[in-house]
Amino acid sequence: MENEIRVGRVPARHEVEGEALLVVDDLRTSFAVAAGSVKAVDGVSFELYRGHTMGVVGESGSGKTVLSRSVMGLNTSANATTTGSVLYAGDQMIGKSSKEKKILWGAEMAMVFQDPMTSLNPVVTIGRQLTEHVRYHLDMGKKEANEVAVALLQSVHIPEAEKRLDNYPHQMSGGMRQRVCIAIALACGPRMLFADEPTTALDVTVQHQILNLLAEQQRDRAMAMILVTHDLGVVAGRTDDIMVMYAGKAVEKAPTGELFAHLRHPYTQGLLWSIPKVTQAKHTRLNAIPGRPPNLIDPPSGCKFAPRCAYAQDICRVEEPTLRSIDTPDHVFACHFPVGTPEGEEAFARNVASDYPPALAAVGKLRASEEVVG
């Protein structure tokens, strides 16, 4: 499906039907810091097809943002090391120089960031920020580029687009700014869009509008999209697949419907249970996950989620589980005692019976002041 606003690039250059646009294999990114090496992404693999959306879910510090930055090759600081393989349309991204990547950034893959205020330059007009890479990648003149910019602003539903070109970011509301950021990301017709917590800084009403806009643009342009968020409520109903990350690893990965129907990893369950729902009565005790994500310099041995896990047994603290499947081959998870299986339920019941704090938290019986431990 081509869109008239999509300009410049000849479509369907490399893509062959049925071949993944993005193949990530054993991607690892670490940052050298004084205290050691922070393994922010620790062996993540996935595939993404054109026109598909993948949600990446996890808490702060789970590595989801570093993952998308690593795929795009944006971790250019001197202390960052990225290994593994990222094949974009058959082209290896790892090891490309910044100069080579610059040709791809904006034109082939683009990113929408969390905070629309800080990702726009406050002293440059919207028009100039929109036309900057249109002129760079597509070699357009000023007038032509301005016409493209107006069309782009209209496509993200910004009223009076012509007038907006001379505006500065502070003259727009948060939702409008995020629309501008999306327009900038879409300007050169990328085939791969990363949206890193695009609505976390916004109101629920605006969040809904922005997510709908992203979905609409993704459909119209048949882009592949990675939607990074900490809220399972945001990705439900808007993604084809979901990958749940914890401590730099993918702990569960499945098609969206399958994940919600048969979630297997206790962490996924914990995330889902933490969300207050409008259908619950007021003052419903939330089944919080106690503690917080581990220190990635010196993570716990065995399963990294074990100290916070309501299902954890002795083996979990020693042996790290690997990704496996029991339902369908495309639903994988890394857990010794999966949710909804006899061994998992048994482990959970055992932990509740022995007053193990994470298990008590999962049944809403732990005092909130004790939820920090772990």
User: Which residues on neighbouring strands pair with residue 27, listed in sequence order?
Assistant: 44
**Cβ nearer to another protein, comparing 203 with 319:** 203
Per CB under 8 A, does 287 bind another protein?
Answer: yes
Residues 318-357 contacting another protein, CB under 8 A: none
Contact with another protein (CB under 8 A) among 38, 225, 234, 316 = 234
Cα 281 to Cα 278: distance, rounded to the nearest angstrom: 8
Residues 34-73 contacting another protein, CB under 8 A: 59-60
Per CB under 8 A, does 292 bind another protein?
Answer: yes
Phi, psi (degrees; rounded to nearest 5) at 46: -165, 165
User: Residue 52 gets which letter from DSSP?
Assistant: -
Helix axes 142-155, 174-186, angle to 10 degrees: 120
Per CB under 8 A, does 274 bind another protein?
Answer: yes
Per CB under 8 A, does 367 bind another protein?
Answer: yes
Helix axes 126-138, 174-186, angle to 10 degrees: 10
The DSSP line for 203-242 is -HHHHHHHHHHHHHHHHHHT-EEEEEES-HHHHTTT-SEE
Least distance CB 137 / another protein (angstroms): 31
* Cα separation values, 341 from 5, 203, 347, Å: 50, 38, 10
**Cβ nearer to another protein, comparing 60 with 98:** 60
Contact with another protein (CB under 8 A) among 11, 90, 95, 257 = 257
Question: 342 is written with which tokens?
Answer: 């006899």
Least distance CB 203 / another protein (angstroms): 5
Per CB under 8 A, does 136 bind another protein?
Answer: no
Contact with another protein (CB under 8 A) among 111, 211, 334, 362 = 211
Please count the residues of the chain.
Answer: 374
**Number of residues near another protein (by CB under 8 A):** 54
Least distance CB 5 / another protein (angstroms): 21
Per CB under 8 A, does 368 bind another protein?
Answer: yes
Sheet holding 22-33, edge to edge: 36-48, 22-33, 80-88, 91-92
* Cα separation values, 266 from 26, 39, 44, 310, Å: 23, 22, 19, 7
* Window of 121-129, 183-191, 235-243, 316-324 that interacts with another protein by CB under 8 A: 235-243
Report which secondary-structure segment, H or E, holds 255. Answer: strand 249-255
Per CB under 8 A, does 140 bind another protein?
Answer: no
**Cβ nearer to another protein, comparing 71 with 263:** 263
Per CB under 8 A, does 121 bind another protein?
Answer: no
Least distance CB 275 / another protein (angstroms): 5
Binding region for another protein (CB under 8 A)? 59-60, 173-176, 203-209, 211-212, 215, 230-234, 236-238, 256-257, 260, 270-278, 280-290, 292, 367-372
